[in-house]
Amino acid sequence: MYGEIVVAATCMLHAAVSDWKTRKASDVNWAVMAATGLILLIFSTFPGDSDGLVLLVASAVCGWIMIASMSSLDIPLVLYMLPSVIAALLIFIFHPLNSVALAWISACLFPVAYVLMYWSGAMGGADVKCLMALSMMFPLCPDLGTIPLWGAGTPLFSLTVLLIAACGALVSVPIFVLCAGKRTEKGIRGLTIYRVGLEEAYSTFVQPVEDVKNGKIVKTVINAVSDGGKKLDRLKAAGATEVLVTPMIPMLVPLVGAFMVTLILGCPPIV
């Protein structure tokens, strides 16, 4: 278990540094984490399990999700969802509902939930792949003896990491805005968005919250997946000299912090 934590922490820290500097992270980090987690999960459950055939199906599904996601998250959703749901149902029906079953159900279903978040625009690709890898590496909240404080063994580890990281990201947005020193909007909105010159927006880590629709400049919802550069190109073609933006939060940084916090505090118990 400690080895898995070291591998996860090393990969996540490496990715977080890259995310902070460039807002990008290599898929190699997530491939190492997911492969390590899947291999260890197989070897820890198969030797003494009488229902190994069902788990073999689940391991094949997890392997497919890992390989597919590293290739592209834009693969049709049904190719993620259908195998995962079938594998989870097979385990639920044919395998005793013990910690082994919960681990495999978690490893099958949570990655698909995170892919849905990517498709909705709620999170970027690197953040989603990080959570997918975590869900395979720690399908159950690890029990390290004296820690975590509660919830060891519950299948909510990656979800807890996400929720804590989301809180950290929400707090960091006003900090980034204030550090930019360009608060141009009044009220609460001024803590999340501000105006900058269009040319400056090209060279800074910001996401435009304006776009061109039917020849008019309109406000848009924040989308972590959309190509901000193309939005800026359209605004420039429309004659805009300034653009309303929000900071691009390096989400992998709060995810690393949330990972450490969750290891200590644990997950909410499900019973």
Could you report the per-residue pLDDT of 171-197, keeping only the tens digit for each? 998 888 888 777 677 767 777 888 889
Say how many C-beta atoms besides its own lie within 10 A of residue 8's C-beta: 24
Using only C-alpha atoms, what is the Rg of the chain?
Answer: 21
Residue 167 scores a pLDDT above 80: yes
Q: What is residue 53's predicted lDDT score, i.e. its pLDDT? A: 61
Q: How far apart are CA 4 and CA 20, in angstroms?
A: 24
Greater pLDDT, 147 or 235: 235
Residue 12 scores a pLDDT above 60: yes
Could you report the per-residue pLDDT of 221-257, keeping only the tens digit for each? 887 777 788 899 999 999 989 999 999 999 999 999 9
Nearest to 123, CA basis, from 13, 254, 231, 229? 254
Residue 93 scores a pLDDT above 90: no
Q: How far apart are CA 83 and CA 60, in angstroms?
A: 9
Residue 6 scores a pLDDT above 60: yes
- Mean residue pLDDT of the chain comes to 85
